[in-house]
Amino acid sequence: MRNDRIVVIGGVAAGMSAAAKAARVKPDARITVFTNEIYISYGACGFPYFLAGEIENEAKLVARSIEQFRAQNIDVRVGHEVLKINPADKKVSVKKLGTVEEVDYDKLVIATGASPFIPPVEGVNLRNVFVLRNMGHAMELKNYISREKPKNAVIVGGGYIGLEMAEMLLKLGCKVAIVELAPQIVPNMDEDMAAILKEYLEKNGVEVFTAEKLMRIEGREAVEKVVTDKRELVSEMVLLAVGTIPNSKLAEDAGIELGIRNAIKVNTRMETSIPDIYAAGDCATVRHRLTGEDVYIPLGTTANKQGRVAGENAAGGNAEFAGVLGTGIAKVMNMEIARTGLSARELQQHGIEYVETVILARTKAGYYPGSEKIYIKLIAGKQDGKLWGAQIVGGAGAGKRIDVFAACMHLGATVDAVQDMDLAYAPPFSPVYDAILVGLTDLQKKLKRV
């Protein structure tokens, strides 16, 4: 059997998952990974905790070393930039230290990830304006904080990364302000749930300004002031955390079809519009399990799963990716937030009639030490009672309850089918009637009234 040449572009979650899976499926394949970074296979979701000092050094964030991959017969080449894909000749042009070489492939996996969106405003190129997307960004920010010990910081963007970084900077003694263009923080949650978190942040010393537009960043050489359409904020540093743009230009130039948000359009096998070329991770689209539509939801969990599917199929397998629900979770100080499925706002956009409920319960038995408040919002179809969405805001132990709802939605469950699930109980973990069941029972009552 011929030793297939599998080339992977990208050395983080999707790329290294693809390479590792391909090596397991076809051990005699010639697998080469090209990445323009120096670090590979790192956990970017751990950056805020690394910056806060909770993770002692960057090496802890690396899942597997180059040597470990090479022991699996995977040739990892760091500092190599792929300039061009030539599908007709099945070649990629690769640049290293000013030298360009042509590399042949039989199967190609594009896992080029995404780049931070940079608002087109004056001052974004000033010193001490940061983004946080790769290990280089994290090291740059770590060195700055250690050296300069800033006292005032502005975070532009109120999503997961912005909120986690607010906690980190607060721990380091920094005064923090969040500026969010949307009417609320955490825009993928509903406003009533986001409002609970906003109030918590403000009580804990974080200034939160929603529905405000960044106009410019001022300073002679470094950041001195942030100007929005409503106020001026004194600041020594700015973190831009306003979303990502898929790195799809390489694919587009090769004639590969792009989809929503200019991400690379793929099917459930991670195949692109050109034979023998796959794409996975933050550069690619993904199918939403509830709507059946292509969406762009860049998450580390999705990147790893898509990478495995792409790698297996590139090695001759027949795997499919089941799709996503957009399940996400974050911790902000002592508050946990999580969501899955569709929000009420998204259901309105899809023209789906729904019934919703928001309940307040406890994370543990009320008499047990450490019992915390937990708010759960549940949304179901008005006609069929199908679970469409769940959102959680609460204290320690609240967030991972989202996985129960994600499992229900993954299987297309109705409220009636799951409202009396047999869930585990002991006082250190939950009340005898868990908040999950409280929410489902309340939603069931509301469904019966419509």
Instruction: Output the pLDDT for position 433.
Output: 97
Residue 169 to residues 27, 155, 163, 226, 396, Cα–Cα distance (Å): 46, 10, 10, 17, 21
Looking at 155-285, list the stretches that DSSP marks H as alpha helix, in order from N- to C-terminal side.
Answer: 160-171, 191-203, 249-253
Is the pLDDT at 3 greater than 70, yes or no? Answer: no
Is the pLDDT at 1 greater than 50, yes or no? Answer: no
Model confidence over 287-309: pLDDT tens digits?
999 999 999 999 999 999 999 99
Which tokens in the block code for residue 5? 């040449």
Mean per-residue pLDDT of the chain = 97
Architecture of domain 5-39+63-114+245-314: 3-Layer(bba) Sandwich (3.50)
What average pLDDT score do residues 89-106 get? 96
Residue 273 to residues 65, 232, 259, 279, Cα–Cα distance (Å): 33, 48, 11, 10
Is the pLDDT at 276 greater than 60, yes or no? Answer: yes
- Residue 91, phi then psi, degrees to nearest 5: -135, 155
Instruction: Output the pLDDT for position 93.
Output: 98
Q: Is the dihedral of CA 36, 42, 43, 46 positive or negative?
A: negative
Q: Is 292 exposed, middle or buried (0-12, 13-18, 19+ CB in 10 A)?
A: exposed
CB 207 within 8 A of CB 177: yes
Instruction: Output the pLDDT for position 291.
Output: 97
* Nearest CA among 124, 86, 119 for reference residue 104: 86
Rounded Cα distance between 106 and 28, Å, is 14
Instruction: Output the pLDDT for position 85.
Output: 99
Fold matches, 5-39+63-114+245-314 and 118-242: yes
Looking at 149-180, list the stretches that DSSP marks H as alpha helix, in order from N- to C-terminal side.
Answer: 160-171
What average pLDDT score do residues 299-324 get? 98
Place of tokens 């939603």: 443
Delimit the domains of the chain by residue range.
5-39+63-114+245-314, 118-242, 328-445
What average pLDDT score do residues 115-121 get? 98
Is residue 7 very low, low, confident or very high in pLDDT (cuts 50, 70, 90)?
very high
Looking at 87-185, list the stretches that DSSP marks H as alpha helix, in order from N- to C-terminal side.
Answer: 135-148, 160-171
Model confidence over 195-248: pLDDT tens digits?
999 999 999 999 999 999 999 999 999 999 999 999 999 999 999 999 999 999
Model confidence over 354-366: pLDDT tens digits?
999 999 999 999 9
Instruction: Output the pLDDT for position 389.
Output: 99
Coil, strand or helix at 399: helix
Which amino acid is located at 110 in the chain?
A: I
Is the pLDDT at 421 greater than 90, yes or no? Answer: yes
Which amino acid is located at 175 in the chain?
A: K
DSSP state string for 431-449: -SS-HHHHHHHHHHHHHHH
Model confidence over 340-386: pLDDT tens digits?
999 999 999 999 999 999 999 999 999 999 999 999 999 999 999 99
Instruction: Output the pLDDT for position 144.
Output: 97
Largest Cα separation within the chain, whole Å, is 70
Model confidence over 129-160: pLDDT tens digits?
999 999 999 999 999 999 999 999 999 999 99
Give the pairing type, strands 129-130 and 114-116: unpaired
Catalytic residue among 45, 174, 283, 408: 45
CB 233 within 8 A of CB 154: yes
Is the pLDDT at 97 greater than 90, yes or no? Answer: no
Give the rounded distance of the alpha carbon of 388 from its chain centre: 20
What average pLDDT score do residues 331-337 get? 98
Which tokens in the block code for residue 292? 């059946």
CATH top class, domain 328-445:
alpha beta
Fold of 118-242: FAD/NAD(P)-binding domain (3.50.50)
Instruction: Output the pLDDT for position 128.
Output: 98
Is residue 189 very low, low, confident or very high in pLDDT (cuts 50, 70, 90)?
very high
What average pLDDT score do residues 407-413 get? 98
Rounded Cα distance between 373 and 397, Å, is 10
Instruction: Output the pLDDT for position 98.
Output: 87
End-to-end, the C-alpha distance of the chain in Å comes to 63
What average pLDDT score do residues 5-13 get? 98
What average pLDDT score do residues 271-292 get? 99
pTM for the whole structure: 0.96
Q: Does 45 qualify as catalytic in the annotation?
A: yes
* Nearest CA among 62, 20, 21 for reference residue 38: 62
Model confidence over 20-74: pLDDT tens digits?
999 999 999 999 999 999 999 999 999 999 999 999 999 999 999 999 999 999 9
